[in-house]
Amino acid sequence: MEATAQEVDAAVRAADQARGALTDRAVRAAFLRTAAERLEAAKDQLVEAADAETALGPVRLTGELARTCYQLRAFADIVDEGAFLDVVINHPDDTATPPIPDLRRYKVPLGVVAVYSASNFPFAFSVAGGDTASALAAGCPVVVKAHPDHPALSELVAKVLRTAAKAHGVPAGVVGLVHGFEAGIALIEHPLVSAAGFTGSVRGGRALFDAAAARPVPIPFHGELGSLNPVLITEAAAAERAEAIGAGLAGSMTLGVGQFCVKPGLVLAPAGASGDRLVKSLTDAVSDTDPGVLLDHRMRDNFLAGVAERAELPEVDSPVTPGAGGEHTVSAGFLTVPAGKLAQEGTYDLLLEECFGPVTVVARYEDEAEAKAVLSRLPGNLTATVHLSTEEAAGQGRGPELLAELTPLAGRVLVNGWPTGVAVAPAQHHGGPYPATTSTSTSVGGTAIERWLRPVVYQGAPEALLPPELRDDNPLGLPRRFNGRLER
């Protein structure tokens, strides 16, 4: 089933030849909506195939498929609106210093996009996921490198997308699919691939990022790699609602058997009595969590080895021991450690690395300075969360200061919430400083389309030569900025 170099080349060339069929925005929008409709029509077959390969369960998978279809329709709406083209027109102005010539700017698609599927979201971050939806919306064909954990589902979804494409006169090659590690390397190196999107491990993502940069013509690589997703709980917040915070943390860290990219992996909690109440609540809630199945045995082995290595560190306690729940399952748990142990480089650095699965580390801090010292050591993250008291959330005390301290750490900063659950919305940002991602872009939300576009300016071009998007009479009715005025 692994694709040869020749098969990768054929898939990329077929995608490149399909570019012209995506030029019409109306066709792109209709294609995306039809894809959503046909995925919904095939729901039973797709969910059954996904569950057989991932064991994520029909309820979770049905919800994820619904999210995927919503996302396709959301990008169709974005295509219809046209604001993503970012049209800006400046007429000549000889009175300016220096004089301004006739300038007309908009964005054009980059070309074929390589998409690398994720293991933990077989629909939403896979063949028909956000990278594919946003690339097609931008006018870019895709070639998807299927994840080895769900190859049969990947083939089924690709087939649905291709039938949706053909319904609108778009060649089936607009969505290519290849399997295998070597195929993934050949894909990123192919000269007709213009950009790539990736969701996965730091090691795998960094290798592909380096390969993208080492090409004779480097290309943008938008990778989501890994994240600890720190949570800071103030002493006042713990005193006010320790039990609720502990229960909420348990639900977030065990959701999806801890296999979400925004699982809270490090929690800074106070060392006093209120922190003890929080840990007891967390202990009770995690103890009641049933064992679950990880996506494959490699991940299970890594989880068991990772938690064992962490638990063996001096002064690390395990109120609920994470580990093997059965022959194929794992049980959730958490570790505690004095926060001071994490404040300096050394033995405890492992606790500041992501451990994929249902486990988190609760670091108990003695004072604000100790908590701040730990935060200062963290790399980039997808999310950072702070739990504040009612007064702190109203702007009293250190609330504003804590928000400012967390902002450099992550692309999404939460107050009194939990990071698991990434809403598909225009204002969403799912990204963050390295190693969370390799760029400043998002892989979720409307602005994800920007990754697959580049700006072009025409200077002094006669109206007759301009694309319709840039003509004065605006025949397509696009939102634009015309001589400094925003027109809708």
Name the residues annotated as catalytic. Answer: 224, 261
Q: DSSP string covering 329-368, please?
A: EEE-EEEEEEGGGGSSSSGGGGGGS---SSEEEEEEESSH
Cα 148 from chain centroid (whole Å): 19
Q: What are the structure tokens assigned to 129, written together?
A: 């996921």
CA–CA dist 269, 342 (Å, integer): 13
Please report, as a single letter, which amino acid is at residue 59.
Answer: V
Tell me which long-range contacts 438-442 makes (C-beta under 8 A, separation of at least 24): 438/205, 438/206, 438/209, 438/221, 438/222, 438/223, 438/225, 439/220, 439/221, 439/222, 439/223, 441/222, 442/411
Per DSSP bridges, beta strands 221-224 and 193-199 are parallel
Helix (H) or strand (E) holding 190: none
Angle at 324 between CA 318 and CA 325, to 5 degrees: 100
Residue 82, C-beta contacts closer than 8 angstroms, at least 6 positions apart:
25, 469, 476, 477, 478, 479
Instruction: Name beta bridge partners: 385.
Output: 231, 414
- Tell me whether the omega of the peptide bond preceding residue 435 falls within 30 degrees of 0, making it cis: yes
CA–CA dist 45, 277 (Å, integer): 46
Q: What are the structure tokens assigned to 219, written together?
A: 């290309």
CA–CA dist 69, 81 (Å, integer): 19
Helix (H, G, I), strand (E, B) or coil at 287: helix
CA–CA dist 341, 437 (Å, integer): 27
